[in-house]
Amino acid sequence: MIRLGLVQTNSTGDYQKNLEFAHAQIRQASNEGLRLVAFPEMFLHLGEKKEEKLKIAQHLDGIIVQTFQEYAKDHHISILMGSIYEPVPNSNHHLYNTSILIDSQGEIQGVYRKIHLCDIDSPSLKNVESKNIRPGTEIVVVDHELGKIGLSICYDLRFPGLFQNLRAKGAEIIFVPAAFFLQTGKHHWLPLLQARAIENQVYIAAPAQWGWHYGDRYSYGHTVLIDPWGTVVACASEYPGIISGTIDLDYLARIRERMPVMEHRRPEYYL
């Protein structure tokens, strides 16, 4: 049995305030004996201005990542930095949306750059993530001490092929740190997460942004842990904070043994 924590944040453009909140959640998770604590997408900065994003962006050896490596060592806990802005080499205008998995010794175990970018033009929601963000190109599964961990970010959730690939590469737990818009989240967030858990027979761990951030930017929240049968193990209420739940890899193995869907696949008939 593995107990992990998922943090729901209400991040703004105030980096220092967001950092202090994150550190408090790490201390709480460590005090509760949790093995891993995961944060949402853009948990250290969710602001409106492109100039602020470029200013806060950090390379993997920058002070922000180093700070969380120290937190992991000091509190003896693994940390998923849901995502931060990372500079793109040879570009002054684009960033990566990057998720970083740090183990309890403070070592970086996995780095994932968001592959699918959220460009939407609908009556209720307009967003062009590709204006500032460059897509990643690598699918990431980490052989972590807690199990085989697959990494994704937010809008990736809408692309089942990615999750099928993560499962094929051995993923047992897939993280989906997100800042899902309120307009779409209230209709799609939980159904999509449960579908990805059921069809791939994995645990889905989805730490999320919640509430108002700036202007008309609201996040849906509902940070959630879902088991491979599609059952909601834990779900956050309507406020920032941490929830915890248990990962049972023996239970996961039994589900896969009793219904071996990966063996039943017939990809020659799929597009």
Give the pLDDT score at 156: 98
Instruction: Write down the pLDDT at residue 269.
Output: 93
Q: Which residues are catalytic?
A: 41, 114, 154
Output the pLDDT for position 227.
Answer: 98
In b/e form, how buried is each residue of 231-245, taking b as 16+ CB within 10 angstroms?
ebbbbbeeebbbbbb
For the stretch 80-110, pLDDT in tens is 999 999 999 988 889 999 999 999 999 999 9
Strand partners, 251: none
Could you give the angle at the alpha carbon of 210 between the alpha carbons of 135 and 105, nearest 5°? Answer: 65
- Give the pLDDT confidence of 157-170 residue by residue, as tens digits: 999 999 999 999 99
CA 79 to chain centroid: 11
- Name the class of domain 2-269: alpha beta
Q: Which residues of the chain have pLDDT under 50?
A: none
Residue 170's region, left for phi above 0, alpha for psi from -120 to 50, else beta, is: left
Classify residue 19 by its DSSP letter.
Answer: H
Say what the pTM is: 0.97
Length of the chain: 271
How far is residue 136's CA from residue 97's CA, in Å, rounded to a whole number?
8
Tokens of 100: 């970083």
Q: Is 210 helix (H, G, I), strand (E, B) or coil?
A: strand
* pLDDT for 235: 98
Task: Name every residue whose Cβ is closer than 8 Å to that of residue 118 and which is 6 or more positions away in sequence.
Answer: 127, 129, 154, 155
* Residue 198 pLDDT: 98
